[in-house]
Amino acid sequence: MSIDTKQFHIFTKKNSRANTCIQQLSYTSDYSINHQKQKKPQQPQTAIKRNKRILPIHIPLCPSNPFGPPITAQSWCIINGKDGSMLAGYNEKLKSQIASITKIMTCWLSLKFISLISLDLDNTYFTVPEAAEIIGGTSAQLQNGDQLNIRDLLYGLMLPSGNDAAITLKYNFEQNIGINFIDEMNNCAKEFGLKSTQYMNPHGLYHKFNYSSALDIGILCYQTLQNENFANIVKTKIYFSEIIDKFGNIKEIIWENTNKLLDNGFQGVKTGQTKEAGPCVVEYYQDNNNSYIIVLLNCKSTDQRWDDTIKLLEWIKQ
């Protein structure tokens, strides 16, 4: 399926009082959505011999794996940060709800569009639509009619995990470029070879068909971390933003990263949590000798995901 080339307007502001200038740009894109079914993992069985009878005994799946450390994540994966190869994993191909981990692709696709049409991150402003203000879940505290530059919007997406920022990015790119943002997310997933991934929204709030796997997320993060802007955003602890409201007033907002493991070698990437997905986290770790991307999905609790990450890191470094 193809999208017709069309012209669109990007409004660029130097400051709140400056006149807008219009750039005529064009964009063409092809997209497709990848679907792939995957069988559910089977429970392991063992047997005990009694009176010449073989009695099958069902043993619950270990929430880590047969050889890894005792962690609570229902699926996990460790990717070599140097070459993108998988080092270890458990249920790593299992299709799972991923909550705000979805925003990794939202951020990446936005940066891709910005590069393709040569937008200025600091001087190109997007307007917050009403749909963004009323969306539930985690928020960047954006209100209908607010204007902020794309750089700030990306920080609002990734640090406080703003669902409102995700909707704002989707809305503005669709209005200005004339594409379907979700279809383009799925097109990128196909390009990266993510066989267990499908996107239905830009924020990760529950949708039956919005899912990925620990392995796919690890592969995606290996690619996205090559982008300097992406890497700088996800390793930032606190960010100060100036937003122009619909009355022309400037308001200041402080965003704090939801990732509590920044420091001591950890450099991002994203947290996520919904009732259906459970607590999830992706971490990028780097020291003088090692570089790992650690993905954990559906941990026992919000705090447990940090402990699970440390256990996997210590185990893989042995």
**Which residues have a catalytic role annotated?**
100, 103, 161
CA 317 → CA 82, 100, 252, 286, distances in Å?
A: 14, 28, 42, 11
Do residues 167 and 126 touch, judged by C-beta distance below 8 A?
A: no
Pairwise CA distance, residues 272 & 225, whole Å:
18
| Long-range pairs of 178-182 with CB within 8 A, sequence gap ≥ 24 | 178/3, 178/4, 178/6, 178/8, 178/27, 179/3, 179/27, 179/29, 179/31, 180/3, 180/31, 181/109
Q: Within a 13 Å sphere around the CA of 61, how many CA atoms are in the beta-carbon half? A: 13
Nearest in space to 81 (alpha carbons), one of 299, 286, 309? 286
**Which segments of the chain does DSSP mark as H helices, in order?**
103-116, 130-134, 150-158, 163-177, 181-191, 214-224, 228-234, 304-317
